[in-house]
Structure 1
C-alpha cells in the first residue's frame, strides 16, 4: 500500500508577526527504533509496538496496519528520517505532554510550535482536541491556545500549530502543558513531532544594496557588497551582530566587528556564503537563545574553470598534431581561438594542421559566466634536424645529443648503437637527451648509429653521430 504524507501550514495559530531566531528548544523524539526519547507522557504507558492501545504511547518512525487499517499508514515523521510520539488517548481527557523548558531569556517573546497529525481515517471517530498552555513554574498561565477538533484527512497529513508568549522578568523557565480535551475510545489517536521554541521580535529585514538577496558572482569579478538592515520599533537598547554561515545556514558564526545595521562585505575565496543580522536587547546579546535573526542574504562566489591547453607541440610542415587539453568547472563550454587549422573548435582534443607557427587559446566559460584561458604553441618546422656530433666533456657546451624538433608526443622511438651493434641509448615517446654514457660509463670517441622509428607512418630515419671527447 502506497501512503502519501502531506505537510500543511499553520492552522488557527497565533503567530509571531515579526522576525524569529533559531530554535532554542527542539524536541524531535530522536531517531532509530525503540523509546529513544527521554520524554514519557504523564498517565500513559509505553508500548514497544507501532500500534499502541488506549492509554498507551510509543516512539516510532512509522506505523501501519493498525486496528484493521483504521489508522493511516505513516512512513515518516514530519521532517523524514526521525521519530514521532504516537498516542492512543486514554478514556478520560487529561494532559498528555508536560515538559519544563529551560534556558530561555527573561522578558523575551518566544514562538511555540508543534506538528500534529490525526492518524484516524474514519470521519465518524472521535477527533483530537488539544489545548496548549505555557505556564511559569509556579503555574501562572502566560498564554494558551486551543486547536479545536483536528479533522481527519484523506491522506496522512502533518499540520503545525503554534502561538507566542513572553517570559517573565524574573524566572525565564516555563512549563509546556498539552491537554487532550477529547475522550479516548474509538478515535482520538494522534502523532506529535518537532516541538520548538524560537525567540520572536520586531521585523528585521536585510538587503544587499543594489542587488537581489542571492547573488552568483565570479571570483575574479567580486566587488565589495554593502549589506544593510532595517528594524521596526520594539527594542529598547538593541545590540546588532552580523553572522556568517558556510554550511547552507546550518550553523552560524559571529563576524568580528560587524555590529552595525550596515556591513561591508569584502571579496573572498570561491565558495558559498550565507549572511544574516541578529539582534537582542543589551545584556542578552551574548546569548544565542535571546537573538532574533533577519532574512538570509546569499553570496555564491563561483570559481574560475580550470583549464590546461596541453604541452606545446612541434609539427612537420604539411602534417598534423592532435591537441590534448583538460578543462573542468561548473557546466562549462569551451572553444579554441583562432579556429584556423583546427578540425573542431568545440572539443578538447582537436586535430591541428596550421600552415605556420600558431598560438592557440582555449577559452573555457562556466554556466555563471566565469572565464579562464590557457595557451598552447604549435611550431611548424620543415623537417626534423638531427645533430651529427656532440662533445660530452662537461664544459657546458654541446654536452648532450638532442633532437630539438622531435616532438615527444609523436611517439617516436630513438635508438643509438655502437659500432658492434650494441644498443647504448634509447628514448621512446620522450625527449632525446643522451649524455654519451652507457650504464653510467662514458663512451669513447667514435661514431654511433641512430635509428628513429615513427608510429604514425612517417618513414624511419637513420644516420650517424660522432661522439667527440
Structure 2
C-alpha cells in the first residue's frame, strides 16, 4: 500500500504548466461543455444574445469590441498565432479588445451538470499584444487580468472564483490555461460562468480565449494487484486460465461508488454486471483491459458526463515463445579470435544461455549473443521480460576449433645462372604462393623471400616462408703479397675455399712461407671457381757474404722469375751498383772487386709487364 500512496503523491505534486488558479488533480470525466469557437476563414458567428455586453465586429475589434476569427494578428501589434485547439485547421478563437471600463465581458450558462459532483472549469488565454512590435505601446502594454466566477443558476450563490493576475504582453505568443474546481449542490444541474476584465482599456489589454471546458472531477483512482500493488499484469499463455485480485485505490476521502468495466481493445468499454465494489477477481483467459467508473452519487454512474474513470489496468497475455532461431554454428581455425554465438528471438523476447539442453547452469542472461571460452555446444532459451514465460526447448549452438596445417619456415640456395625448386613440404592441401602459383613446388631463379599459403580441407590455413639466396661464382679481386705471405681477396665475401697452384684447398685466404716463383691463385665454392696467375718475387731482407757458404749472395728466389724481371741495386746515396737479370742472377757484396761496407742497400725491380717493386735489404758482415 505504501507504493500506491507514493505513486499517487507523485502524480498530485507534479509541476503542472497551468495558471495559478485551481485544477482537478484527480481523475476526469468526459467534457460536458466544450467551446472551441469553431473553424473557418470568415469572421463569426456572433455570440448568442446575452453572452457578452461587448460589440461584435467582423474585422479588427477596437476597445469594447470582440470578434471570432482564425486570424489573431488583426492588428499590426498583435501576435501572429494559431488558435489553441490541437489539430484544428483554421481554428477560431474569441478575440477581445478590453473596454476602457473594467467589468463583465463574457457570460455563459452551462447545463447538464450532475448533482453532488465536483467539476473542473478550464479556459486557455493569451495576451495577444506583441511586445516586440516597435512604437506600438509603452513597454509591454496594459496587462490583461481576468477573473472567472462560477455562480448557481440564479446567480445568487458564488460557487468558486479566481483571477489570472496581470499577464503582460510578450515577444512571442503564449497560450496559458487557467481553471477552477467547484462542487454542485443537491438538485443543482446548471451553473453560470462569468468572465470579468479587471484592467483598463487602452494600448494593450487585448486577449484571445479558446477551448472553454467543463468536465467532472473525481478522486485520482488506480487499480492494482498483488503484494507489490502492480498496476498491470502479464501472464504466459500456458499459465491460463488464472485468477487475479484487482483493488481500487483513490487519493481522496470521498465516499465513492464504483462500476467495473472491461474492454478487449482499450476503446470500447462494457460494464461488468454486478461488480460495483472496490475489488474484483476476474478469470484471465486472454489480453484484457479493466477500469472502474467512479462517482460521488450512484445516480451519476449512468450519466457519461457525471462520473470519472480510473487509470486503465492492463492484463497482457503473452504467447509462449519458441526456441530462438540460430544464426549458425561457429567454426574457427586455430589462433583465430573466438566469435560470439548468436540467435534471433522474436520481437519483445530476450535470451538466456545455458550449458545444457534443459536445466543446467545459466551462463549469460538477457543477451542474444554469447562468447564461449571453450569448444562445445551451448543452448539459447527465449523468454519474455517481466513475465514467467520461456520457450519449451532451447536452441543448440556449437563452437569448435579446427586444426590448421602445420608448417615450418625454411631456406634454399641456388648457383648464379641456375635455379632452385622450393616446396611447401606438406601434402593434401591447397597451395597459393606469393608468386601466384598453386603447385606444391615452384622453380625460383631470383633471390628473395617467398611465401606459400596452405589451406586444408576444413578451410584452415597457415603460411610457410622460404628465404632463397643466390650463390655467386667467386671472383678474385686482389692478390696481396707481403714477402712470403700471400692473401687472396674476392670481390664479394662468401663461403669459399682457397689454394695456390691448385693444391691443398683451405678455408683461409692467407698463405704463409710461400716459395717465390710464378704461382697460381685458386678460389672456389660449390658453384664454380676463379684462377689468377701471379709472380711471387722473394728477395732476401739481408745477406752475409762472409764465405761460410750460407747466404753469401743476394739473389732472386726461383730462377723461373729471372726472364721476367731486372733488378737494380743502389747504395744509400742512390748510386747504381749492379743489375741482376737472367745472365747475372746474384750479387756478392762487392763493387769493382772491392768489398762494400755492411749497411742498408736499396733495390728496384722492373717487370717485363711494366710493373715495379721497390725495397731495401741489409748487407751484414
| TM-score bucket of the superposed structures, by smaller chain | 0.5 to 0.7
The match for 2:78 is 71
User: CA 1:19–1:270 in 2, change beyond 3 Å: closer, same or farther?
Assistant: closer
CA distance in 2, matches of 1:368, 1:121: 53
Distance in 1 (alpha carbons) for counterparts of 2:189 and 2:281: 36
Between the aligned partners of 1:154 and 1:215, the Cα distance in structure 2 is 46
Give SS of 1:47's match.
Answer: coil
Q: Secondary structure at the match of 2:79?
A: coil
Residue in structure 2 matched with residue 85 of structure 1 by the alignment: 93
Residues 117 and 296 in structure 2, CA contact (< 8 A), matched pair in contact too: no
Partner of 1:157: 174
Q: CA deviation at 1:191?
A: 2.3
TM-score with structure 2 length normalisation? Answer: 0.44
Pair 251,57 (structure 1): closer, same or farther in 2 beyond 3 Å:
farther
The answer for the alignment partner of 1:25 in structure 2 is 33
Distance across 2 between alignment mates of 1:52 and 1:372: 71
CA contact (8 A) 1:28 1:84 kept: yes
Q: Is the CA contact (8 Å cut-off) linking 2:44 and 2:68 kept in structure 1?
A: no
1:183 aligns with 2:200: yes
1:428-457 deviation line (CA, Å, top 9, x unaligned): xxxxxxxxxxxxxxxxxxxxxxxxxxxxxx
**CA distance in 2: counterparts of 1:59 and 1:367, whole angstroms:** 53
Q: What is the DSSP-based 3-state SS (H/G/I as helix, E as strand, rest coil) of the residue aligned with 1:148?
A: coil
CA distance in 2, matches of 1:339, 1:36: 77
1:116 aligns with 2:125: yes
* 1:262 counterpart (266, 279, 282): 279
Change (3 A) 1:84 1:9: farther
TM-aligned CA distance change 1:268 to 1:132, over 3 Å: farther
Over the aligned positions, Cα root-mean-square deviation in angstroms equals 4.4
Please list, as runs of the form range in 1=range in 2, the aligned pairs for 1:28-427 lying within 5 A after superposition.
Answer: 28-31=36-39, 33-34=41-42, 39=47, 42=52, 43-47=54-58, 54=63, 55-60=65-70, 63=72, 66-68=74-76, 70-75=77-82, 77-81=84-88, 83-92=91-100, 93-122=102-131, 123-140=139-156, 141-201=158-218, 204-211=221-228, 213-215=230-232, 217-220=234-237, 221=239, 223-231=242-250, 232-235=252-255, 238-245=256-263, 252-270=269-287, 273-303=289-319, 330-331=347-348
- Listed as ranges, the gaps of 5+ residues in structure 2 are 1-14, 132-138, 326-343, 358-367, 370-378, 396-621
Q: Distance in 2 between matches of 1:199 and 1:252?
A: 19
- CA distance, structure 2, for counterparts of residue 116 and residue 257 of structure 1: 45
In structure 2, C-alpha distance between the alignment counterparts of 1:46 and 1:300, rounded to whole Å:
56
- 1:103 deviates by 0.8
CA deviation after TM superposition for structure 1 residue 333, in Å:
6.6
Distance in 2 between the 1:8 and 1:191 partners?
A: 22
Could you report, residue by residue, the CA deviation over 1:344-392 in whole angstroms, capped at 9, with x for unpaired residues? Answer: xx99xxxxxxxxxxxxx9976567766567999xxxxxxxxxxxxxxxx
Q: Is the 8 A contact 1:216 1:302 kept in 2?
A: no
Q: Is the 8 A contact 2:28 2:215 kept in 1?
A: yes
Alpha carbons 1:213, 1:297 under 8 Å: kept: no
Post-superposition offset of 1:299: 3.3
User: Secondary structure, in 3 states, of the residue corresponding to 1:288?
Assistant: coil
Greater mean alpha carbon deviation, residues 367-376 or residues 168-177: 367-376
d(CA) in 2 for partners of 1:44, 1:245: 50
Find the aligned partners of 2:16 and 2:283 in 1 and give their Cα distance: 41
Q: Is the 8 A contact 1:363 1:374 kept in 2?
A: yes
Question: Offset of 1:101 from its aligned partner?
Answer: 0.8
Rg (Cα) greater in structure: 2
In the superposition, the TM-score normalised over structure 1's length comes to 0.57
Task: Label 1:71 to 1:103 Cα distance change in 2 as closer, same or farther (>3 A).
Answer: same
Give, in angstroms, the shift of residue 214 of structure 1.
4.0
Shift of 1:210: 2.9
CA distance 1:247–1:35, change in 2 (3 Å): farther
Q: Matches of 1:155 and 1:8 in 2, distance apart?
A: 21
SS in 2 for 1:135: strand
> Structure 1 residue 305: deviation in Å?
6.1
The gaps in structure 1 that reach 5 residues or longer are 1-6, 310-326, 341-345, 348-360, 377-469
How far 1:306 moved relative to its partner?
8.6
The whole-number CA distance in structure 2 between the counterparts of 1:229 and 1:203 is: 10
SS in 2 for 1:285: helix
Conserved? CA contact 2:324–2:382, under 8 Å: no
Distance across 2 between alignment mates of 1:213 and 1:194: 36
